[in-house]
Amino acid sequence: MGETVVIAGVGPGLGAALARRFAVEGCQIALFARSGDYLDTLADELNAAPGTVLAVPVDVTDPDAVTAAFATVREAFGPVSVLINNASDSAWKGVRDISLSEFEHAWRVAAVGSLLCTQAVLPDMLESGSGTIIFTGATSSIRGREGAVGFSAAKFAVRGMAESMARELGPEGIHVAHVVIDGRIRDPSVSDADVNGDPYQYLNPESIANSYWHLVQQPPDTWTLELDVRPHVETF
């Protein structure tokens, strides 16, 4: 059996592509998201693959819910060896329009959710002296985006967390990496008209998922802290 993987924040775009990629490798995969309906559909699809897939509806901003979710995963699969912090949410508003609750929600989903999931998985990784934690970043992790003050602030926070954790946990044998998704992912919401004959202006989620798998497979003498991926057409 391969790695035991928790993907925190699974939707029909990158989250689903990550689940499919890791399932092909025979991993045991737990899918975390607030909506259980989509998780069940994806789990049914992936259970035909070599790995075993478990749908776990959970609000990653709720400490008790996160603790319970990881207990469910351990009961089904045992210790967790890979965590992908992929959850994010935001009101696409600028500083003049965003409310405090909207700003805080973006930060809680991306930063607090990542913190809670990481803290929940650490006992497994520290005991084994190994493991991989990957944070999904964005262009807004390194360049604040106009009209998205909440999302930008949350993604800056996640990048800082990843860098801090890498320095703290690397000596314990835990690989922490941050992936800058520098461009728009071609998820199911992107139509052929949007692509307009040039598919390479978008990032293919399956290709991104290949990069995540590569990070998990890296030996300790060549760990990547930050991976930057973008389409060949500049989008900024």
Tell me what pLDDT residue 198 has.
59
Q: Is the pLDDT of residue 33 over 50?
A: yes
Q: Which two tokens stand for residue 94?
A: 């600028």
- Average per-residue pLDDT in the chain? 90
Tell me what pLDDT residue 192 has.
60
What ranges do the domains of the chain cover? 4-229
Tell me what pLDDT residue 236 has.
46
Q: Are 80 and 74 in contact (CB under 8 A)?
A: yes
Q: Is the pLDDT of residue 149 over 60?
A: yes
25-53: average pLDDT: 90
Q: Which two tokens stand for residue 127?
A: 């005991």
Tell me what pLDDT residue 133 has.
98
Q: Give pLDDT tens digits for 184-214.
A: 776 656 556 566 655 557 788 999 999 999 9
Band (pLDDT 50/70/90 cuts) for residue 183 is confident
Q: Which residue has the higher pLDDT, 169 or 233?
A: 169
Q: Is the pLDDT of residue 12 over 80?
A: yes
CA–CA distance, 45 with 51 (Å, rounded to integer): 11
CA–CA distance, 196 with 199 (Å, rounded to integer): 8
Handedness of CA 29, 220, 158, 92 (dihedral sign): negative
Handedness of CA 32, 9, 7, 186 (dihedral sign): positive
Handedness of CA 134, 206, 21, 75 (dihedral sign): positive
Give the CATH number of domain 4-229; options: 1.10.287.3510, 3.30.499.10, 3.10.20.30, 3.40.50.720: 3.40.50.720
Compute how many other C-beta atoms are within 10 angstroms of the C-beta atom of residue 207. Answer: 14
Handedness of CA 46, 52, 57, 62 (dihedral sign): negative
Q: Give pLDDT tens digits for 102-146.
A: 999 999 999 999 999 999 999 999 999 999 999 999 888 888 878
Q: Are 183 and 235 in contact (CB under 8 A)?
A: yes
Tell me what pLDDT residue 203 has.
82
153-176: average pLDDT: 97
End-to-end CA distance of the chain: 42
- The candidate with the shortest Cα–Cα distance to 106, out of 164, 162, 145, is 145
Q: What percent of the chain has pLDDT over 70?
A: 91
Vertex 144 angle, CA 229 and 118, to 5°: 65
